[in-house]
Structure 1
């Protein structure tokens, strides 16, 4: 028994120290060890046992039980992975059967690609050599059992303690990875977002577009006028209570996790820089007034994906499957639901990954890679910005430009109204008539009634049931002395609505003017 345990300890230590295997579990009596080593699409799991056995049926039962428990324990870690099991049994006495030719007849789990059994005893070590060959160990394992009795017992105990100490230290190291810092910045960001939400609610409402714009929402028209700070300020505004709660829950759970992994300063850089990347993507791809921390939150997901790239075993053993699932669901949700700003989501996700590569994980060296990641991130931002500035379909979106023109009208800025409508019309599809109507108002105030009439004529041609267009056109014809055209326009207006008193009054004025001549 002691010799088997000695060989077992030597083998386990060799796999850990020389072959990059990680220890998963140790049995209470230290006769069972489970180790794993992960490749890109394949995982090797080694089970090393010094528990005595004698019958093949018992061995089959133990093997399948070990495999079921291992797959259950490593379920998240084995996402999309195929698994090869290697069962090494160490036994000091001769066995009744030829174990080299043993085949396991019980059905395997669908993830198990292969399952091999190796049996060692001191008179026959060829199975151990076969194990070294099939697992493709890089370094040979050599040892001699020089002591017996009490001395060997002491040596086995020392080796077992060495393995236990290693396992405990590994668990402490894993825990330390997620607890590098207290989540102070996460709590501060939560407080700022909540304060801003209550400010919005008490000054017009968080779903009021004008209030959102006044408090710094992403508004492309204003950004193009130089208010680039809106890319940052919009990260702290939310549209409605549901939007706020969903984002704050995500910030609490994901923020505390990322801040624990990266530390306070790195977390702050990841959050704000990925938020800026998401805001720029929203500016480039979405014309709507935008607000929310989604870009920054997806940046935190990007940072977790970078963590998974650098520490894949730890990532998949702890949070990997959940992170990938949440990211996938949110990306799909963003493309399916029209109201979701998936440009901000994807922009923040990529930005967070690149910023994480810039700042790197704590206690990680790689100055050159930081420089490369920084250059890539800056190029990424520049590319988004240049695309956004040249994306006329977004920047001259007719819905948002109508809102802008109406604001200019309130400010009596009629020359800017004319310029804005003129720039927007080539990109308009559904609201050309409304844009022409607004420009006609500006032409009237700039004393160009002929151009105003031309715009109104085109507007009612495009939209024959445009009551305001027909009314203003009839009124302008009337004021310019074109009574026949005014009467035709007034009749068209009454054909749409003969109950409005202002329409009837205008029609009577035109008839009277025409009859007087």
Structure 2
């Protein structure tokens, strides 16, 4: 009968712990071992129903359990963990075993895990003392042992069934968190991004800056001229096939996960808000011409982090560690590689988190915190925009504009190239490339005197700029200043031997009668 009494005690303890704030982590198939997790702190209880005949069997099981516990701590994502390892046995081992229970065992780096081992056996006084200490450590009331003693052994199947039902319900509830909706909008977004890439490629190429700007890439001068819609359209453009593939894969995996958790409408809202804040962050801190869904994709990271804030333990147990590693790698790459617009990534991450807090998770009670998240969204967007308006030291300013001017010159958009180059130089740009491009535009427009000044300034800033010496020679020829032209082209040949340069020199030598 004592065996049945301890079977009953085993299931009574499990039921009592569940009713007092613990959840079932795992039930072994033989139902003789159960792992419980405290909802409010980093405490795990392992209850095992066994018959301990010898102390070495107890020691062997404890050693095996210690190995398992460290894996459990890492899987749950806990920095520290307290484990109650509780054996329910009709009788204690017949040999020495007390030393195994005297002191808690500490494991892991910096002793992150503390393990208490307890043995509940037939001795009623010892059982009560052990239970009191156990309940104090896990912060639950002492159980009504007198009432438990009055229960019949026939209650065991009923209690076991109730525990199993609660465990199954919890599993279903957790699954439901990840299966609120089928991911459909993600596929629509992927289709739209693919279509836009095809259109841009057909109209000149997704790596052509002037084409990207024409189709709505983030371009700061155009935004400051009132084209705010670029914050949105830039989300659907990509620069090159590799950029498209990488972002599409990220959107497929992250977008479907977020859409399943939040539902279609919430997902779309989070995606758009994250993309907009990512774009405005890029505008605030970077002058580079940019495009891509990266900001919105990082917003999906933010949405999953918000899920982790609400369901911390489920998040850490399922995706937490992997998500942190992937996010850290992406942010590190953004800081390491100048071509990556990390401002957009961080802006999207923050925007996605705030937007998720504003929308909140499905089937969760609304709260006043949602208004606070709304304020955060507004402050982030407006604050970044006005900061960008005032920030004159954005990264990549010179190169972005100069590259665009160069493409305009290649495409014979001379007037537009001249206006932009003139504007950059007037704003105090001291790059020799800026004066060179301005000189090219002026020469193409027949503004030879102005072009001469621009090329002279170019070679003053960079005496080794052989193309500038050559173009200055051409300007002198147009102005019939042949001696100066000869001097300039000879300087160009001195720096860089080029057949075209030598042909111009030979022509000038003939014209000036020096050959």
TM-score (norm 2): 0.87
- Distance in structure 2 (CA, Å) of the matches to 1:306 and 1:94: 48
The range that moved more, 338-347 or 298-307, is 338-347
Residue 171, structure 1, aligned to residue 174, structure 2: no
| Contact 2:285–2:394 (CA under 8 A) maintained in structure 1 | yes
Partner of 1:370: 370
Partner of 1:83: 81
Work out the number of aligned pairs and report it: 503
Question: Structure 1 residue 315: deviation in Å?
Answer: 0.5
- Distance in structure 2 (CA, Å) of the matches to 1:502 and 1:413: 32
Partner of 2:6: 4
Residue 123, structure 1, aligned to residue 111, structure 2: no
Partner of 1:25: 26
TM-score (norm 1): 0.86
Question: Structure 1 residue 295: deviation in Å?
Answer: 1.1
Cα deviations across residues 316-337 of structure 1 (Å, max 9, x unaligned)?
1111111111111111122223
Question: Structure 1 residue 197: deviation in Å?
Answer: 2.4
Question: Structure 1 residue 81: deviation in Å?
Answer: 1.9
Identify unmatched segments of 5+ residues in structure 1: none
| Cα distance change of structure 1 residues 153 and 213 upon mapping to structure 2, 3 Å threshold | same
Equivalent residues in 2 for 1:104-115 (5 A)? 109-110=107-108, 113-115=113-115
The range that moved more, 226-235 or 63-72, is 63-72
Cα deviations across residues 267-299 of structure 1 (Å, max 9, x unaligned)?
111111111111222222333332221111111
Question: Structure 1 residue 371: deviation in Å?
Answer: 0.7
| Cα distance change of structure 1 residues 87 and 417 upon mapping to structure 2, 3 Å threshold | closer
Q: What is the alpha-carbon root mean square deviation over aligned residues?
A: 3.2
Residue 210, structure 1, aligned to residue 213, structure 2: no
Equivalent residues in 2 for 1:433-448 (5 A)? 433-440=432-439
| Cα distance change of structure 1 residues 418 and 333 upon mapping to structure 2, 3 Å threshold | closer
| Cα distance change of structure 1 residues 399 and 52 upon mapping to structure 2, 3 Å threshold | same
The range that moved more, 152-161 or 233-242, is 233-242
- Distance in structure 2 (CA, Å) of the matches to 1:329 and 1:447: 52
3-state SS of 1:76 partner: helix
Question: Structure 1 residue 345: deviation in Å?
Answer: 1.4
- Distance in structure 1 (CA, Å) of the matches to 2:153 and 2:285: 70
| Cα distance change of structure 1 residues 36 and 204 upon mapping to structure 2, 3 Å threshold | same
3-state SS of 1:393 partner: coil
Equivalent residues in 2 for 1:261-280 (5 A)? 261-280=261-280
Question: Structure 1 residue 442: deviation in Å?
Answer: 5.6
Partner of 1:56: 55
Question: Structure 1 residue 356: deviation in Å?
Answer: 1.0
Partner of 2:181: 181
Cα deviations across residues 172-215 of structure 1 (Å, max 9, x unaligned)?
00000000001011111121122222333333333333333333
Identify unmatched segments of 5+ residues in structure 2: none
Partner of 1:455: 454
Residue 136, structure 1, aligned to residue 134, structure 2: no
| Contact 1:182–1:260 (CA under 8 A) maintained in structure 2 | yes
| Contact 2:277–2:381 (CA under 8 A) maintained in structure 1 | yes
